[in-house]
Structure 1
Amino acid sequence: MKQNKYDESDFFANYSRMPRSVGGLNAAGEWQELRAMLPELHDKRVLDLGCGFGWHCRYAREQQARSVVGVDLSENMLERARAMTDDPGIKYMRLAIEDIDFSAGEFDVVISSLALHYIERLDILCGRIYHALAPGGAFVLSVEHPVFTALASQDWHYGPQGEKLHWPVDGYHQEGSRQARFLEHDVIKYHRTVATYMNTLIASGFSIRSVAEPKPTEEMLETNPDMRDEMRRPIFLMISAVRD
């Protein structure tokens, strides 16, 4: 299923107002940890799957990547990315992530940030990414954590006074689609377990180098005390893998 919610005007307007949409990578709480998982980008050929506004593409070029290709299905996203980019070393392509068909060994690094939980057939996609990577190439991804995607409601269990009692997890091993509410719209996300993410990569030929479940830094907690609730359960799962 190839969703294109970001070309719906109301959805895109809501997304454009998110802190990470306005402030870029530094406004994304998980960025520091994701950045640490990236390999050396100097002189590398980089592919960004689900590139959005192109933040990671521009970062890669700032790190002197040789070339960058950003892929996204949304024309709204790509229009904004192109408007924010003045760099002939970055190429944006309108394409569903599921439909990538690059040449063998065309890239050295593949990045995908918060996009793959919208993809139904992760196994097929991982095979295509493996094919597109040169031997020794890196694949670094972030997704919504399975603890977060297990229940479609994606919300706390509240007490009688509206207090956040706990984060409910149910149906964890029942993988598949969930109709979730995001930015005041219904969207389809695909829940899979931590084991499935890791084993799918391994079955595709990757070696896993590191796994992270980022939490707010002390600086974030000091700046925004409301983020202390984010210490109670993980939101993101991040994996760094290498093509053998």
Structure 2
Amino acid sequence: MKENKYDDPGFFENYSRMPRSVEGLNAAGEWEVFRHLLPPLESKRVLDLGCGYGWHCRYVMEQQAASVVGMDLSEKMLEQARLRNNGPGITYLREAMEDIDFPPGSFDLVISSLALHYIERYDLICRKIYNCLSAGGHFVFSTEHPVFTAMATQDWYHNAAGDRLHWPVDHYQDEARRITRFLDNDVVKYHRTIATLLNGLLDAGFRITRVEEPKPAPAVLEKYPEMKDETRRPIFLLVAAEKPSTV
């Protein structure tokens, strides 16, 4: 399923007001950990799947990457990317992540930030990414944590006074489509277990080099105190993987 909720005017208007939309990577609680998972970027050919506003595209070019292709299904996202984060070496393409069909060895690094939970065929995209990477290439991604996606409600359990008591986890082993509520809209996401996320990489041929479950950086918590409860359960899973130099 290739849902393009981000081109819905009302949904996009709500998304455009989120801190990470306004301030970019500095407002992304997981960014500091994600950044340290990246390999040296100088002279790398990079593909950004689900590039959104293009913040990561601009970052890799600032680190002297050779080029970056930012891909997104949303034309509204790409309009903002071209407006905010354009420049030499950056190319933006409107295409679904599932449809990538680059020649073998086209990129040295593939990144994806908070997009894979919208993809139905995770196993397929892992194989496609593996194929388009050069030998020794890297794949680094973030996705919503399975603890977060297990229940479609994606909300805390509250007491009668409205206090957040705990984060419920149920139906964890039921890997399937979830219709969740995000920015006052129904949005389709796909829940997978941690095992499925990691084994999908191994089955495609990758070697997993690092796994992280970050909480917001102190500077982000100081600026956005409403994120304090994000330290009580993981919201994101970050994974770094490598295609072997010899296969």
TM-score, normalized by length of structure 2? 0.97
One-letter code aligned to 1:213: E
Distance 1:97 1:237 in 2: 19
1:87-236 alignment runs, 5 A limit: 87-236=87-236
Bigger CA drift: 144-153 or 222-231? 222-231
Partner of 1:52: 52
CA distance in 2, matches of 1:173, 1:142: 20
Distance in 1 between residues matched to 2:196 and 2:68, nearest whole Å: 29
Cα distance, 1:222–1:71 mapped onto 2, change above 3 Å: closer
CA distance in 1, matches of 2:220, 2:25: 14
Is the contact between residue 117 and residue 143 of structure 2 (CA under 8 Å) also seen in structure 1? yes
Instruction: Please identify, of 154-163 and 222-231, the stretch whose mean Cα deviation from structure 2 is larger.
Output: 222-231
- Paired with 1:17 and 1:227, the residues of 2 have a C-alpha distance of 16
1:84, distance to aligned residue in structure 2 (A): 1.6
Deviations 1:3-43 (A, max 9, x none): 10111100111110100000000010100000010110000
User: What is the root-mean-square deviation of aligned Cα atoms in Å?
Assistant: 1.0
AA paired with 2:233? R
Aligned amino acid, residue 50 of structure 2 = G
Identity rate, percent? 63
Identify unmatched segments of 5+ residues in structure 1.
Answer: none
Q: Is the 8 A contact 2:57 2:70 kept in 1?
A: yes
Residue 86 (structure 1) shift = 3.8
**What SS does the corresponding residue of 1:153 show, helix, strand or coil?**
coil
Q: Deviations over 1:109-137 (max 9, x none)?
A: 00000000000000000000000000100
**Residue 81 (str. 1) matches residue 81 (str. 2):** yes
Q: TM-score, normalised by structure 1?
A: 0.98
Give SS of 1:171's match. coil
Displacement of 1:216 in angstroms is: 2.3
TM-superposed deviation, 1:225? 4.0
Structure 2 CA distance for aligned equivalents of residues 29 and 192 of structure 1: 22
SS at match of 1:125: helix
The C-alpha deviation readout for 1:139-158, integer Å capped at 9, x for no partner, is 00000000000000000000
The CA deviation string for residues 56-103 of structure 1, in whole angstroms up to 9 with x for no partner, is 001000000001000000111111111123413000000000000001
Deviation of 1:220 after TM superposition, in Å, equals 3.5
Secondary structure, counterpart of 1:52 in structure 2: coil
1:197-221 CA-to-partner distances (Å, cap 9, x unmatched) read 0000000000000000001233344
Structure 2 counterpart of 1:26? 26
**1: CA distance, partners of 2:206 / 2:81:** 30
1:155 aligned counterpart, secondary structure: coil
Quote the residue 2:7 is aligned against: 7
Letter in 2 for 1:58: R
- The aligned residue for residue 237 of structure 1 is 237
Matched AA of 1:94: R
Distance change >3 Å, CA 72–CA 220, structure 1 → 2: closer
Stretches of structure 2 that go unaligned for 5 or more consecutive residues are: none
SS in structure 2 at match of 1:234: coil
Q: Any conservation in 1 of the 2:32–2:217 contact (CA below 8 Å)? A: no
